[in-house]
Structure 1
């Protein structure tokens, strides 16, 4: 009966491709279609949740633009100006310090010590010009003679001052003695400082440094000073000296003025005698030191060629001569 139940007009089942068992199984499965698939389920399976690992950090940081830190041109100029002002202040401070030290060195003189002669008060506008210390700079065997020459210079200054007063008294007694009074003022102003510089300081330097040139310079100038002492002692009229001749000329008419002039003549005589004695003493000491004229020549040449003033003058003369030669050509 089963054979009669089939439809004789139906196509055979084997000819229907949809009747294939594999197709029938695929169409009848419960797998959701693609358009209904949800990749993020609300409740993920426990197995996936437990095995999830965090993603590694990126191998590099993203580029971030930093704000520019370069100063503006105005700020750079202000900093540069501040640096220049600071450097200028530093240079001015150093220059002031150098000026102060140079003034101190000049006030101390070539010896590097502070000048102490003439002994003037600190408030005085004129400062000492020389440094003098017998016990420190002069050897013991020369100190006595050097001090005697110093005392002779002071004695000469006092004598010149008294000579001016004597000539003034002579001028009050004789109206024709005005020339003597004027010349006495000139001798006081001229001989007092020149004698200190021309024969006392050279002999002081000669004893201090054993300089042959200083000894020769002292001998030459001091010999001229001895001649001047003798002329002042004689007292030639109209020469500005209260010597023996001038004193005896006025003593007959005015004994008071004549007595004053005689006292000054005695002082001039003492100066002349002491100068001759000291000249002989210095000469004997000079011969014991082993100094000679040849050494004096060497010291003079060395001193001249190392002198800055001489070097400047020589350089100026050489440049002038060279310019003249070029212009002549």
Structure 2
């Protein structure tokens, strides 16, 4: 009987079974491209892969980051601008829903104005009558201009000066009267704020004095009032004189009607308990809000340009 171990192999007898498997070396040389040779260490993991790595220059990486940051800022600004547009459109839609579209003046609407919708019912008659007085003022200015034109045609002294000044009144007094006393009294009855009443009292007071001054009709003042009317009739220019009569009468109507409603509005002002201190506080508060709005608008405009 043979004493040889059938499970023994010369290859295994020459190796240490407790050696690190990672350090086992090949006994048999391998052939072929990329094969391991005898004694080669298998712990090198870069043998079978690409041992070279691609690196990005630091300058190129910084420029890429800067470009991405600039793109993000641009998108944020676009989103912010779009959000502001949406908010403005929503605010306008809310205003139109609660008030209505701009309707005054009718030939070029700039503001919304509706006595039935905005003025309390108990004060609608007063505000409507004041509006009619303002419309009558427009007619008075137009008739006064025509009378001054006829005064120039018939040869009344200083007729050219009266015509030029009366034409200027047609534009300046129309705008000033609406903005300085009619619109304030409209807002006063709509919002019951003291400052609007004070604006009305100050500027309508000037208008009352101006109406009386125009009714007198001093030469070269742009008025076809009483004094100029007498000159026209003395010159026996009947048609021009009749226009001067109507002009004078309408200026007196302006004087008495505005004086009457000035007193009526002042009585309502006292009944509501408005005071001058309240008016000053409201003016100050409005100025602060306007400044805050201007600052916010300026900040938004400058940030959008950055």
Q: Same fold (TM over 0.5)?
A: yes
- Quickly say closer, same or farther: Cα 1:298–1:88, change in 2 above 3 A: closer
Q: 1:296 corresponds to which residue?
A: 279
- Give, in whole Å, the separation in 1 of the partners of 2:115 and 2:21: 95
- Quickly say closer, same or farther: Cα 1:243–1:105, change in 2 above 3 A: farther
Q: Secondary structure at the match of 1:187?
A: helix
Shift of 1:277: 2.5
- Give, in whole Å, the separation in 1 of the partners of 2:22 and 2:197: 98
Unaligned segments of structure 2, at least 5 residues? 24-41, 296-306
Report which of the two structures shows the higher radius of gyration computed on alpha carbons.
Answer: 1
Q: 1:194 corresponds to which residue?
A: 176
- Residue by residue, what CA displacement relative to the aligned partner does 1:171-230 show, whole Å, maximum 9, x if unpaired? 111152111111112222221111111111211221122112221221122122112112
Q: 1:13 corresponds to which residue?
A: none
Q: 2:119 corresponds to which residue?
A: 138
- Give, in whole Å, the separation in 1 of the partners of 2:118 and 2:283: 22
Q: Secondary structure at the match of 1:48?
A: coil
In the TM superposition, 1:15-94 aligns within 5 A as: 48=7, 58=21, 62-65=43-46, 67=50, 72-73=56-57, 76=61, 79-80=64-65, 82-94=67-79
- Quickly say closer, same or farther: Cα 1:298–1:76, change in 2 above 3 A: closer
Does the CA contact (< 8 Å) of 1:219 and 1:279 recur in 2? yes
Shift of 1:102: 8.5
Superposition TM-score, scaled by structure 1 size: 0.64
Shift of 1:99: 6.7
- Quickly say closer, same or farther: Cα 1:93–1:224, change in 2 above 3 A: same
- Residue by residue, what CA displacement relative to the aligned partner does 1:16-49 show, whole Å, maximum 9, x if unpaired? xxxxxxxxxxxxxxx9xxxxxxxxxxxx98x539
- Quickly say closer, same or farther: Cα 1:143–1:58, change in 2 above 3 A: farther
Shift of 1:81: 5.3
- Give, in whole Å, the separation in 2 of the partners of 1:285 and 1:210: 10
**1:287 maps to 2:270:** yes
Alpha-carbon RMSD across the aligned residues, in angstroms, is: 4.1
In the TM superposition, 1:268-283 aligns within 5 A as: 268-283=251-266
- Give, in whole Å, the separation in 2 of the partners of 1:304 and 1:290: 23
Aligned residues: 259
- Quickly say closer, same or farther: Cα 1:143–1:70, change in 2 above 3 A: farther
- Give, in whole Å, the separation in 2 of the partners of 1:63 and 1:96: 59
Q: Which moved more, 1:69-78 or 1:277-286?
A: 69-78
Q: 1:170 corresponds to which residue?
A: 151
Q: Secondary structure at the match of 1:170?
A: helix
Unaligned segments of structure 1, at least 5 residues? 1-30, 32-43, 122-126, 313-329
